C-alpha cells in the first residue's frame, strides 16, 4: 500500500468514527481512483456490519447505524460488483438496507412520543404542586388530585404501550441486521431442538401476538409503515412458499433474491398482516362512530396481498 492510499484509509476510518458520512464518501471516491478493491471492501464492511462499530460518535447528520448503512449501500451500488460478498443481487441489498432504515425511523418516532409523554407527565406533576393551595377545601383538593392522578395514569399507560412497541421494533431491527450479514442463512430443519438452531443461525423469532402492540402507533406513522410493508413485499416477491420437506429455506422463483429462512419470511408476513389489521380495526371503529372521513382516509393503505384474507376486508 502506497503512502497516499494509507493516508486516505486512515482518513476514512477517522470520518467513520466521527459519523461524518459526506467526508467519508469523498475519501472513498478518492480511494476508489487509487485502489478500487480497498474502497469496495470499506463500504462492504460497513454494510455487512449494519454500521455497528464500537466507539462511533454519532452526529446530527448521521445519527444511527441504520442511516450509515443505507448511505453506504447507495455508495456501494456505484460499484459493478457491489454485492459480491452476499448471495443476492444489488437490488435486494438495497431493499434490505432500506428495511433497516425504515425500522430505525419507526423506533426514533415512537421513542420521541415516549419522551413527549414523559415531559407531559412531568408538567402535570408541576401543575399539581402549583395547583394546591392552603385556601382550598378538602373536597377541592381531592378532586384536583383525582384528576391529576387520572391524567398521570393515562400518560404512564401510554408510555408503557410505546415502550412495548420499541422493544418489538428493536427485535425487528435485529432481523434486518441479520439479513444484511453475508451468508447468514443456515439451511436446516425448521422445527428441531426447541429453537436452538434458530439461535445458532441468528434467527429472530416474533409471534403475531407480540406485534399487536404496534397497532396503537400505525396510524400516527402510517407513511413509514406503508413504506415498510411495500419494502417487505418487494423482498418476498418471487418466493413461492415453504419446502414440503420442512427445511428452513423456501422455494424461490428469482435466483437473484438470495436465501430467506422460513422464520424470516413468517415475521415479515406478520408485520404486513398486523399493519393491515390495525387499519381495518380502526376503520370498523370509525364506522361505529359514523366517521366516514376516517374510513375513507384509510382505504389508501389497504392491500389485498398483505396476508389478510379477502373476507376480512368485507
Q: What digits encode the pLDDT tens for the residues 93-136?
A: 999 999 999 999 999 999 998 887 665 555 555 555 555 554 55
pTM of structure = 0.79
Distance CA 232, CA 247 (A): 22
* pLDDT(185) > 50: no
Q: What is the mean pLDDT of residues 252-275?
A: 77
What was the pLDDT predicted at 251?
Answer: 45
Question: What is the pLDDT of the chain when averaged over all its residues?
Answer: 80
Length of the chain: 314
Amino acid at each position: 500500500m502506497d503512502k497516499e492510499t494509507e493516508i486516505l484509509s486512515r482518513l476514512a476510518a477517522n470520518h467513520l468514527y466521527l459519523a461524518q458520512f459526506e467526508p467519508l464518501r469523498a475519501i472513498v471516491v478518492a480511494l476508489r481512483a487509487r485502489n478500487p478493491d480497498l474502497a469496495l471492501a470499506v463500504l462492504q464492511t460497513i454494510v455487512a456490519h449494519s454500521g455497528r462499530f464500537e466507539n462511533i460518535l454519532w452526529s446530527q447528520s448521521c445519527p444511527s447505524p441504520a442511516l450509515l448503512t443505507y448511505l453506504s449501500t447507495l455508495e456501494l451500488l456505484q460499484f459493478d460488483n457491489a454485492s459480491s460478498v452476499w448471495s443476492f443481487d444489488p437490488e435486494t441489498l438495497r431493499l434490505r438496507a432500506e428495511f433497516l432504515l425504515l425500522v430505525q425511523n419507526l423506533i426514533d418516532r415512537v421513542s420521541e412520543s415516549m419522551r413527549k409523554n414523559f415531559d407531559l407527565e412531568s408538567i402535570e406533576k408541576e401543575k399539581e404542586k402549583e395547583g394546591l393551595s392552603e385556601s382550598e377545601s378538602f373536597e377541592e383538593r381531592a378532586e384536583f388530585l383525582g384528576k391529576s392522578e387520572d391524567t398521570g395514569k393515562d400518560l404512564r399507560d401510554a408510555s408503557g404501550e410505546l415502550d412495548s412497541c420499541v422493544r418489538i421494533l428493536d427485535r425487528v431491527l435485529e432481523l434486518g441486521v441479520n439479513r444484511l450479514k453475508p451468508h447468514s442463512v443456515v439451511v436446516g430443519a425448521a422445527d428441531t431442538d426447541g429453537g436452538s438452531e434458530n439461535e445458532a443461525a441468528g434467527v429472530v423469532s416474533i409471534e403475531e401476538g407480540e406485534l399487536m402492540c404496534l397497532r396503537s402507533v400505525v396510524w400516527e406513522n402510517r407513511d413509514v409503515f406503508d413504506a415498510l410493508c411495500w419494502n417487505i413485499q418487494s423482498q418476498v416477491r418471487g418466493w413461492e412458499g415453504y419446502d414440503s420437506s420442512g427445511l428452513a429455506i423456501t422455494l424461490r422463483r428469482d435466483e437473484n433474491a438470495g436465501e430467506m429462512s422460513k422464520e424470516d419470511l413468517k415475521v415479515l408476513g406478520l408485520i404486513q398482516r398486523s399493519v393491515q389489521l390495525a387499519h381495518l380495526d380502526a376503520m370498523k371503529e370509525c364506522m361505529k362512530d359514523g366517521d366516514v372521513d376516517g374510513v375513507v382516509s384509510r382505504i389508501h393503505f389497504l392491500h389485498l396481498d398483505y396476508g389478510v384474507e379477502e373476507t376480512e376486508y368485507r
